[in-house]
Structure 1
């Protein structure tokens, strides 16, 4: 079966600093027409960082779209033309002060592919070195550290609600002995 949707017309609704919004008229595989509201995003990176004493670094920050603070692994958007691994190292240091010499790509994901092309690359960082935080001027967050033994309970109790964080931590729990 052909699942492709042909774009007949596209209208740009908004061009912003982080996202662009378009509405597409599409022809569906069965020949009928429909509309698609799409968000285009440059992409993002996230880092599951493990300290030498087996603690996971999470950041707590207010998320306006959810109207509450969320616990997440450090993450941020790609700058135009920036390599994903370089962006992950930059975001980790900016948000936590930690420096990672090496990262391991553990997953890539589309968070909401029904309307957004944002692809998030998730990395693992260990063998961390201390550095300095460099938060953006409009960025406010708190660092929290959780021992590996606490992570499963947090997942079971639904303390974590951010998809990239849940994916990263489940991956680490499944592969924890490999990373010791």
Structure 2
């Protein structure tokens, strides 16, 4: 039976040369306050040419603010492109010449008022690899101290505290559909179970 067949380990090739596309030319289609749209002509591995339209994004961070009792701080925010109020962890884009950890600390305080004693880098994700350069660095924040938040002009969001069981029920039901929040929640579960080690705190 198929279920009894052993799984084969398929190693990666020694080189990526048969996959890489080379930029031939680049055209700026739109440059906005936040995003830039480009169209590049590329040479494919077989020597043919194709076009790639994509968004240039400055990068972003997301924070998992963890309380001592195991609950986490979350947000409700209206996201115009999808026309819905979404449940998310605090997050925001990098300012010019800003480090990812500095951005994480700034966004947590601005959006929620909280500061943290310890910060841990979890991972970097690429949420829309088909048409954007965007990356999001995920951080865990511990030792939270409440303070006054400082929202940007035109920024409206609610904060609330949730337990992990409720978060995973929202993921299962589709009430949480934000990909970075889903990925972060599974990371948090691995960390809290002890299966994945946090490592040393992040420092600047």
> Scaled by the length of structure 1, what TM-score is found?
0.94
Alignment pair present for 1:162 and 2:178: yes
Distance 1:175 1:77 in 2: 25
In the TM superposition, what whole-angstrom CA distance separates every residue of 1:50-75 from its partner, at most 9, and x where no partner exists? 12332211111111111111111000
Q: Which of 136, 140, 143 is residue 127 of structure 1 equivalent to?
A: 143
- Corresponding residue SS for 2:82: coil
Distance 2:175 2:60 in 1: 23
- Corresponding residue SS for 1:101: strand
In the alignment, structure 1 segments of 5+ residues that lack a partner are none
* Number of the residue aligned with 1:143: 159
Task: Report the RMSD for the aligned CA atoms in angstroms.
Answer: 1.4
- Corresponding residue SS for 2:81: coil
Alignment pair present for 1:48 and 2:64: yes
- Corresponding residue SS for 1:88: helix
Q: Is the 8 A contact 1:152 1:173 kept in 2?
A: no
Distance 1:47 1:171 in 2: 12
Task: State the shift of 1:174 in Å.
Answer: 2.1
Over 6 Å off, 4+ runs: none
- Corresponding residue SS for 1:24: strand
* Number of the residue aligned with 1:71: 87
- Corresponding residue SS for 1:144: strand
Aligned residues: 179
Distance 1:35 1:114 in 2: 13
User: Which one has a larger percent strand, Structure 1 or Structure 2?
Assistant: 1
Distance 2:165 2:182 in 1: 15
Larger Rg belongs to: 2
* Number of the residue aligned with 2:201: none
Distance 1:171 1:27 in 2: 37
> Scaled by the length of structure 2, what TM-score is found?
0.83
